[in-house]
Amino acid sequence: MIQQEKKAQRHEQILLRLDELTYATRKQLQVIEKLGGDRNAHRILYQMEKDKTIASVRYEYKIYYLSNRGKDRIGSKQAELKKAWITHSLMRNDLYIRLGQPSDWRKEVPIAWGENKLIPDATYKRRGEFQFIEIDNTQSMQTNVGKIDKYKELSRVVFGQYKHTPTVIWYSLSEVRKGKLREACENAGVKYRIY
């Protein structure tokens, strides 16, 4: 009986995590949920797919997401998922893991000041300082430069209110785009890191 309760708790925790992550690979869930080795993680996720609480699509590897039954089970308010979000979500998850899985990580929370508004892909604090995450996947460089200009203004507001300069963390898979982001951030005087 205790074994069944533990299994149910682990499954529910994975469902809650998928609700936060939107999409995730087995490896990402293995690391974040500490599912042990490949065989154990595969067994757990296979059982959840069989129970129809999660579903998957196959690209280079399986990508998991909440099924309608899984959403109902945890009371998820997750909107209809779009396949166009997969790469973006997986990149954000990779960065979340790489940054040490910050406990205050929040995805896509709007920030408004004056007439301006930004929606970072994620936000967290590191040593009490704001860190804003931007995933550079498909948006145009012109859109990125516009965001950097807004981050320049937001940096002034944050400095005035919290007495620190926030960091914008970019994650891009293209060396060319990384160079352009670096140049745009330096020209705007925005504190940044690029992965």
Q: What confidence score (pLDDT) does residue 103 get?
A: 96
Per-residue CA distances from 54 to 3, 45, 51 (Å): 21, 8, 8
Helix or strand run (H / E) with residue 64? strand 62-66
pLDDT for 153 beyond 90: yes
Query: Taking the CA of residue 163 as centre, how many other CA atoms within 13 Å lie in the half-sphere pointing to its CB?
Result: 0
DSSP 104: T
**Mean per-residue pLDDT over the chain, rounded:** 95
Per-residue confidence (pLDDT) for residue 3, from 0 to 100: 87
pLDDT in tens, 63-104: 999 999 999 999 999 988 888 899 999 999 999 999 999 999
Residue-range domains of the chain with CATH? 2-81 (1.10.10.10), 106-194 (3.40.91.60)
Per-residue pLDDT tens for 123-141? 999 999 999 999 998 889 9
Q: Please give the Cα distance from 167 to 126 (Å, whole number).
A: 10
Averaged over 27-51, what is the pLDDT?
A: 96
Under 8 Å CB-to-CB from 4, ≥6 apart: which residues?
Answer: none
Q: What is the pLDDT of residue 79?
A: 86
Residue 106 is predicted with a pLDDT of 97
Give CA separation, 35 vs 63, 93, 147, in Å: 16, 16, 37
Per-residue pLDDT at 130 = 98
Half-sphere exposure of 117 (CA within 13 A, CB side): 5
Mean pLDDT of 16-32: 97
pLDDT digits (tens, 9 = 90+) for 186-195: 999 999 999 9
What whole-number distance in Å separates Cα of residue 178 and Cα of residue 52?
A: 40
* Integer Rg of the chain from CA: 19
Residue 101's Cβ-side half-sphere holds a number of Cα atoms within 13 Å equal to 10
Q: Cα–Cα distances in Å, from 40 out to 85, 129, 133? A: 27, 38, 32
Query: CA-to-CA distance for 43 and 35, rounded, in angstroms?
Result: 10
pLDDT of residue 2: 86
Residue 1: pLDDT above 90? no
